[in-house]
Amino acid sequence: MITITIIGSGNVAYHLAKAISISDELELVQLAMRDIEKAPTFIEKAKIETDFGKLKEVDLYLVAVADNAIEGVIEKIATPTRLIAHTSGTSELLLSAARYRKGVFYPLQTFSKTKDISFAEVPICIETFDKEDLKILKKCAEAISNNVYEISSQQRKVLHVAAVFVNNFVNHLYVQGEKICDENGINFEILKPLIKETAAKIEILHAKDAQTGPAKRGDTTTINQHLNFLKDENQKEIYKIITQSIINNDKKL
């Protein structure tokens, strides 16, 4: 049984706490956060700790706080014997001058408290300096997920950039699609099966083989009609840049 304490009250801390709580191989000893009001109801109150100086000794501390707060939290809880891993996609393994056993435990997924998630499918990227520490992180990650990867800080940064494209930017295109529908009195629901299928295709096709549409066909008549139709400057710019990028991509092949 690996004993774990989580520090944080955001979406990542919430879903990690949930996944660890229900694992037979892991024990969530404490969940630490500054504001007790944010404590999830599925954790017993006795396990919630607001004083970071009073954390019990456990096998692993997971720091799931905002990037700019990680260093401060680590400096409060660091001791030379504690294994402390942060959950950030962008922060370095070597983040603080404080002495502690350093680790990264990055679940590469988009989390919202209002949406349940199957943690078994969440890829977890782990990294440490020490082989024995790596074993602990690995055991912990494998107890809650079937997709565990050893990833260096450099690779993790690349993954984070790619994740911005396929998650943050994709979601913004959904935002624009919904806006276009709303402004023209069309129910966005009609597009949801298309959104679902677009993502599902990637499971069996390379994205470049799944590409369709006016830009791919070089259909300038339709492209110009669409640009004429769009009045919002952001939408127009996005339309132009991505259309051009699709055309350029094909030229390179």
Q: Of 34-53, which residues contact a copy of itself (CB under 8 A)?
A: none
CB of 225 vs a copy of itself, minimal distance in Å? 7
DSSP 8: -
**Integer CA distances (angstroms), 28 to 99, 179, 219, in order:** 24, 43, 57
The SS3 of residue 180 is helix
Choices 35-43, 52-60, 135-143, 168-176 (CB under 8 A): range interacting with a copy of itself: 168-176
Question: Contact between 177 and a copy of itself (CB under 8 A)?
Answer: yes
Total residues binding a copy of itself (CB under 8 A) = 90
* One-character DSSP codes across 194-207: HHHHHHHHTTTS-H
Question: Contact between 224 and a copy of itself (CB under 8 A)?
Answer: no
* Cα 77 from Cα 83, distance rounded (Å): 10
Residues 71-110: x/- map of binding to a copy of itself (CB under 8 A)? -------------------x-----------------xxx
Question: Contact between 186 and a copy of itself (CB under 8 A)?
Answer: yes
CB of 102 vs a copy of itself, minimal distance in Å? 20
Q: Which of 1, 44, 150, 196 binds a copy of itself (CB under 8 A)?
A: 196
Helices (H), 22-110: 67-77
Question: Contact between 129 and a copy of itself (CB under 8 A)?
Answer: no
Contact 160, 87 (CB under 8 A): no
Distance of CA 99 to the CA centre of its chain: 27
